[in-house]
Amino acid sequence: MLNNKRVLGFFISAALFAAASATAGAQTYGGGLIDKSVATVGNDVVLLSDIEEEVHMMQAGGFTVDANSRCQILENIVSSKLFLTQARLDSLTVGEDQVKEQVEQHMMKVMNTLGGEKEVEEYFKKPLYRLRADWSKMFREQLLIQQMQQKVYSSIPKMTPAAIKELCDTIPQEDLPVIPTQYKLRQIVLYPDKESAAMVVKERLLDLRERVIAGEKFSSLARLYSQDPGSATRGGELGMRPKSVYWPQFSDAAMALKAGQVSQIVETPDGFHIIQMIEKSGDMFNARHILIKPTYTARDRNAAFSRLDSIRSEIVDGKITFEMAAVRNSEDFKTRTNGGMMVDEYSGSSLLEKDRLNPNDYSVIKDMQPGDISEPFESLDNEGRGHTIYKIVRLDQVTPSHTASFETDYDALVTMANEKNAHRAIDDFVTEKKKTTHIKIDPLFGGCKFVDEDWIAK
């Protein structure tokens, strides 16, 4: 959607739909509602069914539809049509492979939400081939709109340091971004004895598998022993879902099974599983599983803490630097080669905000001072749903929350300036195209208070 501002609007009531039924040339669509043209933008027509389709897609995606939604959807569609019209005039094109990929991803997401192909057809009241055709048209147009927007963005002059400095000096302080408190940390990580713990889990799952083969109900054992809280109460049943929502190891093992068959032990980043197939349909399947995760004893914890204590003492006594100790001892491969330096996995920055820290880590460092080295503590890694690890950390730097400044937060100011310029460029494009494009909004939406108030005037 182009406009992410909250729009004040009204809900189109049943009475308004009934009034629309008297419109000449109107046609019925899903559920007996009356379809009709509710807006014209150049040579493009926006149908009432287009808006209801968007409403259905929002609901299927888990979004709340409130009294403002239809007005906001219409305004977004009309704005988008201006970009679409210009994209066609500029002869922009999109690849059909890209369209197909978008459609299939969307189809998998909707099927995952609703439960399967049959449920999708019932929800949208259309066969899958019709839905794919509709969504192909929608995504083809969306990709053209995105191309046109990128073309508009590319015309924005690049911000120079001098321009950023001028912006920083002239913009009101309250409009500058606020940088949250940031931490720079190094860590030394030890894992518990994974092999011994995994062996215990595998033996337990092998016993459960043999019990199923001997005639016990998989579902009963799942209720008793599975450590997946989401499915254990349902006898381990996962529901009809696309294979893409699972770890590849899990979905590959499941799809190789016939109905009623039980898999060998399958390892994923979540732990160890056995799987029983219920049914398959295309790239979707419904299965039961029993998940058991490796657990570690006080002995594992004490052994790791003892070793970390010794490493910490050597660092404090000046026998080795923290960085070198991390290179020699840490079992976290992502940070070991950088002397234990922790970085944000998304941005690559070594300055970590509180929300990007594991809660276990933050509870330890929040009272530390720069240069302090923590006592050993238990935490979680970032693999799967998080595996037990033991660590010590050194707090290198704390940057308190502050209003962005040119000297210390140049990148944040560039991001802010680029966003402001992009919004302004989009608004200017829409304003200019309104002047030269035939636009008509049906009186059915005459009560909408659009963000751009002159839509109705047009």
pLDDT of residue 189: 96
Q: Mean pLDDT highest for which of 44-48, 244-248, 363-367? A: 363-367
User: Which single residue is written with the structure tokens 């590959």?
Assistant: 252
Domain boundary among 261, 292, 323: 292
| Pair 283, 319 in one domain | no
| Pair 31, 147 in one domain | yes
pLDDT of residue 28: 40
| Pair 109, 82 in one domain | yes
On the question of pLDDT at 456 being above 80, the answer is no
- Cα 116 to chain centroid, rounded: 21
Answer yes or no: is 409 within a domain: no
**For the chain, what is the domain count?**
3
| Pair 114, 221 in one domain | no
Contact assessment for residue 319 and residue 267, using Cβ atoms and an 8 Å cutoff: no
Answer yes or no: is 310 within a domain: yes
Answer yes or no: is 8 within a domain: no
Contact assessment for residue 387 and residue 381, using Cβ atoms and an 8 Å cutoff: yes
User: What radius of gyration do the chain's Cα atoms show?
Assistant: 29
Three-state DSSP at 114 gives helix
Name the residue among 214, 236, 215, 216 with its Cα closest to residue 225.
Answer: 236
| Pair 139, 40 in one domain | yes
| Pair 199, 188 in one domain | no
Three-state DSSP at 326 gives helix
Three-state DSSP at 12 gives coil
Total residues belonging to the chain: 458
Rounded Cα gap, residues 6 and 259, in angstroms: 49
Q: Is the dihedral of CA 19, 22, 23, 26 positive or negative?
A: positive
CATH of the domain at 445: 1.10.4030
pLDDT of residue 11: 31
* Assigned token pair, 194: 């994974």
Which region, left, alpha or beta, applies to residue 454 given φ > 0 means left and ψ of -120 to 50 means alpha? alpha
| Pair 81, 20 in one domain | yes
Alpha-carbon distances of 264 from 250, 275, 384, rounded to whole Å:
11, 8, 21
Domain boundary among 248, 265, 292: 292
CATH of the domain at 286: 3.10.50.40
pLDDT of residue 54: 84
Answer yes or no: is 257 within a domain: yes
- Beta-carbon contacts of 318 under 8 Å, excluding residues fewer than 6 positions away, are none
Tens of pLDDT, residues 3-18: 433 222 323 332 233 2
Name the residue among 452, 453, 457, 444 with its Cα closest to residue 2.
Answer: 452
| Pair 101, 35 in one domain | yes
Answer yes or no: is 69 within a domain: yes
Rounded Cα gap, residues 197 and 174, in angstroms: 54
Alpha-carbon distances of 365 from 317, 357, 394, 398, rounded to whole Å:
21, 10, 9, 10
Average pLDDT over residues 271-290: 93
Tens of pLDDT, residues 328-358: 999 999 999 999 999 988 878 899 998 889 8
Domain boundary among 246, 264, 292: 292
| Pair 445, 335 in one domain | no
Enclosing domain of residue 111: 14-157+418-457
| Pair 270, 345 in one domain | no
Written as one string, the DSSP assignment of 12-25 is --HHHHHHHTTSTT
Answer yes or no: is 90 within a domain: yes
Answer yes or no: is 245 within a domain: yes
Q: Mean pLDDT highest for which of 191-195, 208-212, 378-382, 414-418? A: 208-212
Rounded Cα gap, residues 122 and 138, in angstroms: 20
Alpha-carbon distances of 201 from 177, 256, 416, rounded to whole Å:
49, 23, 50
| Pair 301, 187 in one domain | yes
pLDDT of residue 360: 92
Three-state DSSP at 49 gives helix
Answer yes or no: is 249 within a domain: yes
On the question of pLDDT at 27 being above 50, the answer is no
| Pair 27, 143 in one domain | yes
Alpha-carbon distances of 199 from 227, 272, 376, rounded to whole Å:
17, 11, 26
- Strands 178-179 vs 182-190: parallel, antiparallel or unpaired: unpaired
